[in-house]
């Protein structure tokens, strides 16, 4: 699985932002929903962060005085954040997309441009649903898994 990392330090502690590539549906649409509400979803590949945004990343992007968290700790997830503080002009997304973080990630991904954004509901659920389908297939057919038949499982 392809990952991209960005590393930085705050004081004497080192931190890592890790993004993992989710290959998407690759021309085999995913059946999303139940019953009459099922629809086929095509999803392009994308990178998703492996952890919630930490206070260390928030501070790295917005500055030491910008941490709104009640439970302070650079390795803790940032909390007490409004939708507006993330999405408004000059908010977290604007600032991270203007930062060295985005530049480094774009360079490591070998793409001419990229942007941090909030994930869609489908993107948020797809990796989990695909992993659950994979685990279900592995439990149903362990011989195929052991034999190396580890293809993408889709419903």
Domain chopping of the chain, boundaries: 3-118
Predicted pLDDT at 127: 61
Q: What is the pLDDT of residue 99?
A: 94
**pLDDT beneath 50: ranges in the chain:** 138, 141-155
Instruction: Judge if pTM exceeds 0.75.
Output: no
Q: Residue 42, Cβ neighbours under 10 Å: how many? A: 12
Encode pLDDT of 13-29 as tens digits. 999 999 988 888 888 88
* Three-state secondary-structure class, residue 100: helix
Angle at 149 between CA 145 and CA 151, to 5 degrees: 110
pLDDT digits (tens, 9 = 90+) for 108-133: 888 777 888 887 777 776 666 555 55
H helices, E strands: number in the chain: 6, 5
Cβ proximity of 147 and 18 under 8 Å: no
Distance, in Å, from the CA atom of 90 to the CA atom of 17, rounded to the nearest integer, reads 21
Query: For position 109, what pLDDT does the model report?
Result: 83
């Amino acid at each position: 699985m392809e990952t991209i990392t960005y590393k930085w330090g705050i004081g004497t502690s080192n931190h890592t932002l890790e993004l993992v590539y989710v290959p998407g549906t690759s021309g085999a649409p995913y059946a999303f929903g139940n019953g009459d509400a099922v629809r086929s979803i095509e999803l392009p590949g994308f990178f998703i962060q492996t952890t919630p945004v930490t206070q260390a990343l928030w501070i790295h992007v917005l500055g030491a005085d910008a941490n709104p968290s009640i439970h302070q700790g650079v390795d803790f997830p940032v909390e007490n954040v409004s939708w507006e503080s993330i999405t408004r002009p000059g908010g977290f997304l604007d600032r991270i997309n203007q930062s060295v973080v985005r530049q480094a990630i774009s360079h490591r991904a070998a793409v001419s441009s990229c942007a941090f954004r909030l994930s869609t509901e489908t993107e948020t659920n797809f990796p989990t649903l695909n992993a659950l389908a994979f685990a279900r297939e592995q439990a149903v057919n362990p011989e195929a898994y052991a034999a190396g038949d580890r293809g993408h499982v889709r419903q």
